Amino acid sequence: MAAIIIIIIIVWISMWGFYKFMYPRAPRSMMPKEGDVTTLRDCNFCGHSLAEYRGVVETKPTAATDTTLDGNNENSNDANNNASNELFFCNYEHQADFHAGKKYS
């Protein structure tokens, strides 16, 4: 009985060490910091979802002369309009490929 318990403990310790070696924690520099936006966004190039602080956010240029009939600027700063005026990419290579007109394969 003691042999079975010792073998289970040895296997558990060796598996714990194996998983610590194979799947180490990410460095602190890759973890979100205070004030980072951690909501998931879809890449406009490849479609993968990624936390916003890990990717590249680009604002689309808008015409400053677009106004409605009552004189208010159409491009207000509400959340829905800002989300539609932004492009999000996983990395700078995806951003460059998107603007170059390349297709994701």
Q: How does pLDDT run across 9-67, given as a tens digit for each residue? A: 999 999 999 999 999 888 888 888 898 888 999 998 998 998 888 889 988 776 654 44
Tell me whether residue 95 is in a domain: yes
Tell me whether residue 19 is in a domain: no
Name which residue leads in pLDDT, 68 or 28: 28
Residue 27's pLDDT is 86
Alpha-carbon gap, residue 66 to 83, rounded angstroms = 18
Give every CB contact of residue 48 below 8 A, 6+ residues apart in sequence: 42, 90
Tell me whether residue 63 is in a domain: yes
Tell me whether residue 39 is in a domain: yes
| Region 77-97 average pLDDT | 77
Give every CB contact of residue 37 below 8 A, 6+ residues apart in sequence: 51, 52, 53
Task: Look up the domain containing 57 and give its range.
Answer: 28-100
Tell me whether residue 11 is in a domain: no
Total number of domains constituting the chain:
1
Tell me whether residue 68 is in a domain: yes
Tell me whether residue 64 is in a domain: yes
Helix (H) or strand (E) holding 86: strand 86-89
